[in-house]
Amino acid sequence: MDKKPIAHHISHQYDADLEDLRSRVFAMGGLVEEQVANAVTALVKGDVELADAVITNDYRVNAMEVEIDEECTHIIARRQPTAGDLRLVIAVIKTITDMERIGDQAAKVARMARQLAEMERPRNEYVEIQSLGTHVQTMIRGALDAFARMDVQGAIETAKEDLKVDHEYEAIMRQLMTFMMEDPRTIKRILDVMWATRALERVGDHAKNICEYVVYLVEGKDVRHISVEQIEEAALGKR
């Protein structure tokens, strides 16, 4: 319960453990952000080599998840964290699950990029995929920044973007369906584009989840499954 008398050093080491945990999370976050960026570029440019690199690198994302997960378990067992420290560890356990899933989605986009590279390219050069991809990348970056700075307002702003991503996604899907109907020969290709679009939309969902863990981490409130407006109210109401 009371570990202060034992040694200053132990507490220092504990701080160092938590700091190490945080920096590993940011390293993993940086990697998945890069994976998404590269997957989108691979699709838009039809770059098979880049797509292959994304698919190969997915094991790095997975390995990082397992490592950080083990570190979290060790910290709980060794340090028996409470209050804010415990919330940090729980938030990390959840965050890395979502980051791993972002990695999965990036690999999925990369697989579609490989297939699409072999097919006829549309006149618009997949500009809508680039736009959606940039949007969700901004969300990942925003979620990581909010986590790093323990910034509730920043987390809320980023979470709000998910609604815009959803609208963008729906507009793209409607357009793709129209293209399919106009020219059924494009069905196979457009289905691949649809799967890639869907994967990017899911990246936005995961980034939003991470924002919710930031609010939980800072405020100690579970804000999942409620609207962004309610999150804002819950987080800012007490100010």
Q: Alpha-carbon distance 210 to 45, whole Å?
A: 30
Q: Which stretch binds its own copies (CB under 8 A): 26-34, 115-123, 164-172, 219-227?
A: 219-227
Question: Are 210 and 150 within 8 A, CB to CB?
Answer: no
Q: Which of 17, 33, 47, 65 binds its own copies (CB under 8 A)?
A: 65
The amino acid present at 62, given as its one-letter code, is N
Write down the H helix ranges in the chain. Answer: 8-45, 48-79, 83-117, 127-149, 152-182, 187-219, 228-236
Write down the least CB distance from residue 124 to its own copies, Å: 20
For residue 205, give Cα distances in angstroms to 7, 17, 103, 164, 196.
44, 29, 13, 11, 15
Q: Which stretch binds its own copies (CB under 8 A): 28-36, 80-88, 150-158, 227-235?
A: 80-88
Q: Does 130 bind its own copies (CB under 8 A)?
A: no
Q: Which stretch binds its own copies (CB under 8 A): 32-40, 74-82, 119-127, 149-157?
A: 74-82
Residues ≥6 apart with Cβ < 8 Å to 1: none
Q: Does 17 bind its own copies (CB under 8 A)?
A: no
State CA 32 to chain mean position distance: 7
Q: Alpha-carbon distance 72 to 237, whole Å?
A: 31
Q: Does 26 bind its own copies (CB under 8 A)?
A: no
Write down the least CB distance from residue 45 to its own copies, Å: 26
The smaller minimum CB distance to its own copies, of residues 4 and 185, is found at 185
- Which of 17, 32, 23 has its CA nearest to residue 62? 32
The smaller minimum CB distance to its own copies, of residues 80 and 149, is found at 80
Q: Does 69 bind its own copies (CB under 8 A)?
A: yes
Q: Does 7 bind its own copies (CB under 8 A)?
A: no
Q: Which of 24, 94, 141, 160 binds its own copies (CB under 8 A)?
A: 94
The smaller minimum CB distance to its own copies, of residues 54 and 180, is found at 180
- Which of 122, 133, 96 has its CA nearest to residue 209? 96
**Class of residue 191 by CB neighbours under 10 A (exposed 0-12, middle 13-18, buried 19+):** middle
Q: Does 23 bind its own copies (CB under 8 A)?
A: no
Interaction residues for its own copies, span 177-206 (CB under 8 A): 177, 180-181, 184, 187-188, 191, 194
Q: Which residues bind its own copies (CB under 8 A)?
A: 59, 62-63, 65-66, 69-70, 73, 76-77, 80, 82-83, 86-87, 90, 93-94, 97, 177, 180-181, 184, 187-188, 191, 194, 222, 224-225
